[in-house]
């Protein structure tokens, strides 16, 4: 291979080494893989004054994949952040008989772990430049000098190839061979780039592993209860929608709120983990669809008791002969059926229970007597059954509500026990605050608005709105947009949720974006904003 050295200008060489150091620092800071790959090739072109170049990555142990292609003269920019796909087939490192492909320069550099410096592709022997020459015929370009450098990571493994094309004289712009100095600079840059790329890939893999572990936790919760599984997926999405809406909003007290990409990642992780403590919550409490449900719905046992009472009454009527008329018997049986229907109705827990309904449950408990399996006569309803059937709202007793609420204590405990890196240190606070209230009456810590971050307050609204609209709960139907926003608006006025975030939620129509993705068509009604409690028009709108 021809390697034509030129005597570099010492001052120019010093400048280029300083430039190389600056490039190394910049590469180490880049987080986006596509931007990093692009920066590597552009930096190599710049430091060697090349007209074009290609960056390949090892797709597997047998192929080199085109990642970035640039040519200044032809105006070609493909791959990376351009959004333009590269139409070229990958370079095969081996032939059909597993013979090493040594005819392609990039492949030769991989197999021999050496740089290749070619002064002129048209006169170089030993390589197949048919593709290059065909390209030149189509474009009118003249591919001349090539510098091909393998990129090796810290374990001395080749992870890619950097190939530069047509070095240009800095004075007259004429194409020249790549000098020895160019090669050393390119090799140094390739080494730095490989380390930066490997580090970023390692970090990315660790992030993916971490997120997969979070998904595993949520999948475990989902497996226990399909009702919370959807919640764990939707709350992070809605949280991010609201946070992004706040960043777009430029008016009001939150008009200056901004987020970096790191801030977004931190909030998303917190959203994914906000209910991780539910992994220990008993299934029969999480999934309690009716007031009498434990492992099964005990209303079936009460149904059986009603049937026993009816049977006993019929038997007694037959034995007494003329002691009870058929009309009296029918009336009593009808009363029993009505009480049974009433018990089944209040067992659902779909609406607030009135005082007279609570009293009727207690009367039913003592109105009928039955003989239990031990032969003892007892009240029709046990003390625990009366306690559950007289739950004023929902299906949970006070004790069961405490079990449910304990999940947030456990969530905070679990998250605070983890050794979070610097850019994720706020995850426990964000995730742990979604049941707090702005007036300090929430739980578990009774924090006030001023004691909470904006991100935690965002998650609080997301958690509530998702619960209101969710159509997969065992104890209720998903509410419409109008119903949900009405309740949320009342919560704003009651200092339950952040009023400024509620305004942003409404102004930026976050509820519409969320509804289109996660709500059923029958839930999406036309919202009359003038009737939503707490709604105020956006200033200047």
In this structure, the answer to whether residues 43 and 132 fall within a common structural domain is yes
Asked if 347 contacts 299 with a C-beta cutoff of 8 angstroms, the reply is yes
DSSP one-letter code for 439: B
In this structure, the answer to whether residues 299 and 384 fall within a common structural domain is yes
Angle, nearest 10°, between helix axes 180-224 and 10-29?
0
Is 84 contained in some domain? yes
Tell me the three-class secondary structure of 315-371, residue by residue: HHHHHHHHHCCHHHHHHHHHHHHHHHHHHHHHHHCCCCCCHHHHHHHHHHHHHCEEE
Q: What are phi and psi of 351, to 5 degrees?
A: -145, 165
Long-range CB contact pairs, 376-382, < 8 A, 24+: 380/302, 380/305, 380/309, 381/302
Asked if 451 contacts 439 with a C-beta cutoff of 8 angstroms, the reply is no
pLDDT of residue 12: 60
Nearest C-alpha neighbor of 52 from the set 185, 147, 184, 149: 147
In this structure, the answer to whether residues 337 and 429 fall within a common structural domain is no
Which residues share a beta bridge with 171? none
Cα–Cα distances in angstroms (integers) from residue 27 to residues 152, 156, 319, 325, 420, in the given order: 15, 19, 96, 96, 25
Q: Which residue's structure tokens are 């939707």? A: 234
Angle, nearest 10°, between helix axes 261-273 and 454-469?
50
Residue at which a domain ends, from 395, 416, 448: 395
**DSSP 3-state assignment of 398?**
helix
Is 240 contained in some domain? yes
Q: What is the pLDDT along the chain (541 residues), one digit of tens a residue?
A: 444 444 445 456 566 666 666 666 666 666 777 888 888 888 889 889 999 999 999 988 889 999 999 999 999 999 988 989 999 999 999 988 889 999 999 999 999 999 999 999 999 998 999 999 999 999 999 999 999 999 998 888 898 999 999 999 988 999 999 999 899 989 988 888 888 888 888 888 888 999 898 888 877 777 776 666 578 889 999 999 999 999 998 888 998 999 999 999 999 999 999 988 888 777 777 677 788 888 777 888 888 888 888 888 888 877 766 567 788 888 889 999 999 999 999 888 877 889 999 999 999 999 988 887 787 888 899 899 999 999 888 888 888 888 777 888 889 999 999 999 999 999 999 999 999 999 999 989 999 999 999 999 999 999 999 989 988 665 567 899 999 999 999 999 999 999 999 999 999 999 999 999 999 999 999 999 999 999 999 987 6
Is 212 contained in some domain? no
Is 1 contained in some domain? no
Is 168 contained in some domain? yes
Asked if 466 contacts 484 with a C-beta cutoff of 8 angstroms, the reply is no
Chain-centre distance of CA 519, in angstroms?
Answer: 18
pLDDT of residue 484: 95
In this structure, the answer to whether residues 379 and 508 fall within a common structural domain is no
Q: What are phi and psi of 71, to 5 degrees?
A: -150, 110
In this structure, the answer to whether residues 18 and 142 fall within a common structural domain is yes
In this structure, the answer to whether residues 18 and 155 fall within a common structural domain is yes
For 329, the domain range is: 289-395
In this structure, the answer to whether residues 92 and 192 fall within a common structural domain is yes
Is 218 contained in some domain? no
In this structure, the answer to whether residues 113 and 66 fall within a common structural domain is yes
Is 239 contained in some domain? yes
In this structure, the answer to whether residues 383 and 409 fall within a common structural domain is no
**In 20-105, at which residue ranges do the beta strands (DSSP E only) sit?**
50-58, 63-71, 76-79, 91-92
Residue at which a domain ends, from 365, 395, 425: 395
In this structure, the answer to whether residues 136 and 152 fall within a common structural domain is yes
Cα–Cα distances in angstroms (integers) from residue 297 to residues 365, 455, 487, 506, in the given order: 18, 39, 30, 40
In this structure, the answer to whether residues 234 and 194 fall within a common structural domain is no
In this structure, the answer to whether residues 195 and 253 fall within a common structural domain is no
**DSSP 3-state assignment of 261?**
helix
Which residues share a beta bridge with 70? 53, 77
What whole-number distance in Å separates Cα of residue 290 and Cα of residue 412?
A: 29
Cα–Cα distances in angstroms (integers) from residue 279 to residues 14, 214, 407, 423, 426, in the given order: 60, 12, 8, 26, 22
Residue at which a domain ends, from 344, 364, 395: 395
Q: What are phi and psi of 344, to 5 degrees?
A: -65, -35
Number of domains in the chain: 3
Is 219 contained in some domain? no
What is the pTM assigned to this prediction?
A: 0.68
Count of alpha carbons within 13 angstroms of residue 192, beta-carbon side: 25
């Amino acid at each position: 291979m021809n390697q034509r050295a030129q005597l570099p200008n010492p001052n120019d060489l010093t400048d280029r080494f300083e430039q190389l150091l600056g490039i190394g620092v910049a590469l180490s800071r880049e987080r986006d893989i596509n931007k990093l790959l692009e920066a590597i090739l552009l930096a190599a072109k710049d430091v060697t004054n090349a007209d074009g170049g290609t960056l390949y990555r090892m797709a597997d142990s047998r192929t080199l994949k085109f990642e970035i292609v640039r040519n200044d003269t032809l105006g070609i920019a493909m791959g990376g952040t351009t959004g333009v796909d590269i139409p070229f087939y990958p370079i095969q490192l081996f032939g059909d008989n597993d013979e090493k492909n040594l005819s392609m320069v990039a492949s030769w550099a991989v197999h021999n772990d050496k740089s290749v410096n070619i002064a002129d592709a048209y006169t170089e022997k030993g390589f197949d430049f048919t593709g290059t020459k065909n390209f030149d015929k189509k474009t009118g370009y003249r591919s001349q000098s090539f510098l091909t450098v393998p990129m090796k990571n810290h374990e001395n493994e080749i992870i890619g190839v950097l190939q530069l094309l047509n070095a240009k004289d800095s004075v007259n712009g004429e194409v020249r061979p790549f000098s020895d100095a160019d090669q050393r600079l390119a090799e140094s840059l390739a080494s730095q780039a490989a380390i930066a790329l490997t580090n970023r890939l390692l970090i990315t893999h660790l992030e993916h592993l971490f997120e997969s572990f979070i998904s595993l936790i949520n999948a475990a919760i989902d497996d226990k209860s399909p009702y919370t599984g959807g919640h764990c997926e939707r709350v992070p999405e809605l949280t991010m929608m609201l946070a992004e809406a706040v960043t777009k909003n430029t008016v009001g007290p939150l008009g200056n709120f901004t987020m970096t990409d790191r801030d977004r990642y931190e909030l998303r992780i917190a959203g994914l983990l906000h209910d991780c403590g539910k992994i220990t919550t008993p299934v029969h409490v999480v999934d309690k669809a009716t007031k009498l449900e434990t492992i099964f719905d005990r209303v079936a046992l009460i149904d059986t008791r009603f049937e026993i009472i009816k049977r006993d009454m019929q038997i007694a009527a037959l034995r007494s002969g003329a002691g009870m008329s058929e009309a009296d018997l029918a009336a009593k049986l009808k009363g029993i059926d009505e009480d049974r229907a009433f018990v089944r109705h209040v067992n659902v827990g779909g609406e607030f229970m009135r005082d007279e309904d609570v009293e009727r449950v207690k009367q039913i408990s003592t109105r009928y007597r039955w003989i239990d399996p031990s032969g003892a006569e007892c009240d029709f309803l046990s003390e625990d059954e009366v306690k559950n059937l007289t739950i004023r709202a929902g299906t949970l007793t006070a004790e069961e509500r405490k079990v449910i609420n304990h999940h947030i204590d456990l969530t905070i405990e679990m998250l605070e026990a983890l050794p979070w890196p610097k850019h994720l240190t706020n995850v426990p606070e964000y995730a742990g605050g979604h049941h707090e209230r702005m007036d300090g009456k929430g739980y578990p810590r009774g924090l006030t608005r001023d004691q909470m971050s904006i991100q935690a307050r965002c998650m609080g609204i997301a958690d509530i709105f998702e619960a209101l609209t969710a159509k997969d709960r065992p104890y209720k139907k998903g509410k419409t947009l109008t119903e949900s926003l009405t309740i949320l608006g009342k919560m704003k006025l009651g200092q339950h949720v952040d009023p400024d975030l509620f305004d942003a939620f409404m102004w930026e129509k976050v509820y519409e974006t969320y509804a289109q993705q996660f709500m059923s068509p029958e839930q999406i009604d036309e919202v009359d904003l003038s009737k939503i409690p707490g709604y105020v028009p956006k200033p200047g709108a």
